[in-house]
Chain A
């Protein structure tokens, strides 16, 4: 779904005052069916408990990894500490490709490519958040799926020699031997995970000022080159 369509829907919703909130971002009823993909791990509604994943009541507006008593992955905790908060935009990105937003997340869900399915799912989830009407009005339009990476970007073949030079800049913080003290390891990743993570920083979907800045000035070829270089670094 494109930006234009979203804008139209928001406009329509604000004209027809009193329409159900969910109309602004998608069709909650259709979303209930989509939620069957999550149900195996997440519960929702009255009496929902933590299962493989945390229950998802009240997820809108909550910090990532903030549900007490649930054991999150290190990556998710780090994202929460960095300030990742679940909004329509970040949820959409996470559901689309969990590893783009939270690289080493424990959620083994391969992602949902269909933007309409995601919008419907979000509308459904939103009904279980305490106070949806307090959510920022601008939010729905912000869910435009501009973070969907062009497959051509993922198909780019990186030049490892250029990657080696570019990596110099990373190695002031990330260690070449893959050890991780306070800063995560970035060696020997699948190239795709690396590329989607870097693009998520570049587009500022993923929080973290240092990495947003570092990724912000790398172009698509440079990101591919870095992915190719770090993949094989022992």
Chain B
């Protein structure tokens, strides 16, 4: 294997051992090879389950540029002051040391599906028998007039975890008294449907104590959004008069921004703002497109095992996939990863493959101890991942229920991060 030692981060003996072990090409002998690109909710989970359940029968390599993965989930709670940034960071040490996964900190820059080879930015090449992509999202160029990725310091998206989230928080905390926070919300489909609205709640929560006369404007290209009545009830209860949500009926979709002048123009009306959080339209992480498995913005997959429609040996998980009814969430990516890991292990080692089962629950925090949730179960049909059953919190629930719901979300955060990183 042409793995370059310089870019290799084997923190444990197991990982070092597999580095020095001879590896052979796919069509030869040796352990079957699975390469995963992206160590987030989908990729880290799939890598862990493949390594854990195959008990050494598979050679599992995870490619991820960051040494610390900062979750997007709960990043809004950091904006609201309910979490520290360090609480959101997780590293790959246990995956390498305890599960024997080769963790390679580099970018994948190309996939050659004919020779079944991944190329990394550092120049090395990784052969695979099965390739799993879970690269998350990138933004559609030109989606918001006046904004491009190069404007992300003036007008952060904070829709990928880590430094962008910290930047947005610093900007919110530095707002002048009575200042204006603007959000440009994304069109469907996008990562975490309740995410922008939980963010509005958490920014309002932070401002309510530090800057109570500040205002929040949301320009939204949609007519309605996830958990809308729950959020609107919560905004009226906790942040009366602070949040102005402008939906598509009122021109919320007709927006341009000027990152130099710090202005937002909604339906022809220009406003000077202090912070502008632009969340543009999204598409699959670029490597999915480079691998040639996307159609339009996303990668269509088969529901039973998450293999792409384009190539039975290439799988796409999480936000980048186009699978049917599941929302793009960390919970969904984690759920899909486990179905995929079971199928891939079965295909490579002959282990038993059980029928696919998926589920999702998304919690949102609206104010202190005021949590709500929405969830559903799904099954694989011939055309898509299809919803079976679901539930949503109701408006007017009492405070004990809302508090219990919030506490559950804390339990879930601990659970899913343990499920991803060991």
Contacts and interface: CB of A to CB of B under 8 A. Distances in A.
A171 B357 contact: no
Given A172-B416, A213-B390, A214-B359, A181 B400 contact: no
Interface in A149-181: 161-162, 165-166, 168-169, 171-177, 179-181
A127 B418 CA distance: 50
Nearest to A168: B338
Contact of B404 (A82, A174, A212, A217): A82
Contact of A169 (B338, B390, B410): B338
A173 B391 contact: no
Contacts of B414: 175, 179, 181-182
Contact of A172 (B390, B400, B410, B419): B419
A216 B377 CA distance: 10
Interface in A169-214: 169, 171-177, 179-183, 209-210, 212-214
A180 B404 CA distance: 14
22 contacts: A81-B404, A83-B401, A161-B352, A162-B354, A168-B49, A168-B338, A172-B334, A172-B415, A172-B419, A173-B411, A175-B414, A177-B418, A179-B414, A181-B410, A181-B411, A183-B408, A209-B373, A210-B373, A213-B359, A213-B375, A214-B359, A216-B389
Contact of B400 (A81, A168, A174, A177): A81
A230 B411 CA distance: 18
A176 B338 CA distance: 15
B135 to A, nearest CB: 21
B415 A171 contact: yes
Given A168-B49, A169-B357, A182-B411, A209 B335 contact: no
B375 A217 contact: no
A183 B408 CA distance: 5
Nearest to B392: A209
B335 A172 contact: yes
A80 interface: yes
Nearest to B334: A172
Contacts of A174: 415
Contacts of B331: 172
B410 A182 contact: yes
Contacts of B335: 169, 172
Given A161-B352, A210-B373, A213-B389, A182 B409 contact: yes
Nearest to B49: A168
- 10 A-B pairs with least C-beta separation: A182-B411, A183-B411, A209-B391, A81-B404, A182-B407, A168-B338, A182-B410, A81-B400, A165-B354, A173-B415
B400 A80 contact: yes
Interface in A105-142: none
Nearest to B339: A168
B361 interface: yes
B222 interface: no
Given A165-B354, A169-B357, A217 B401 contact: no
Nearest to B338: A168
Contacts of A212: 391
Interface in B297-351: 331, 334-335, 338, 342
A209 B375 contact: yes
A210 B361 contact: yes
Contacts of B416: 172-173
Nearest to B406: A182
A78 interface: yes
B1 interface: no
Contacts of A179: 414
A99 to B, nearest CB: 20
Given A81-B401, A172-B359, 13 more contacts: A81-B403, A81-B404, A161-B352, A168-B49, A168-B338, A173-B411, A176-B418, A180-B411, A182-B411, A213-B376, A213-B390, A214-B377, A217-B357
B69 interface: no
Interface in B378-422: 388-391, 393, 400-401, 403-404, 407-412, 414-416, 418-419
A175 B412 CA distance: 9
Contacts of B354: 162, 165-166
A179 B415 CA distance: 9
B265 to A, nearest CB: 42
Contacts of B418: 171, 175-177
B412 A182 contact: yes
A12 to B, nearest CB: 37
A177 B98 CA distance: 15
Nearest to A164: B53
A168 to B, nearest CB: 4
B210 to A, nearest CB: 28
B42 to A, nearest CB: 13
A58 to B, nearest CB: 19
Nearest to A217: B377
A72 to B, nearest CB: 13
B400 A213 contact: no
Contacts of A209: 373, 375, 391, 393
Interface in B10-38: none
Contacts of B342: 165, 168
Contacts of B415: 171-175, 183
B407 A169 contact: no
Nearest to B404: A81
Contact of A217 (B389, B393, B410): B389
A212 B359 CA distance: 13
Contacts of A214: 359, 377
A80 B416 CA distance: 26
A183 B403 contact: no
A83 B393 CA distance: 12
Nearest to B355: A165
Interface string A62-100: 000000000000000010111100000000000000000
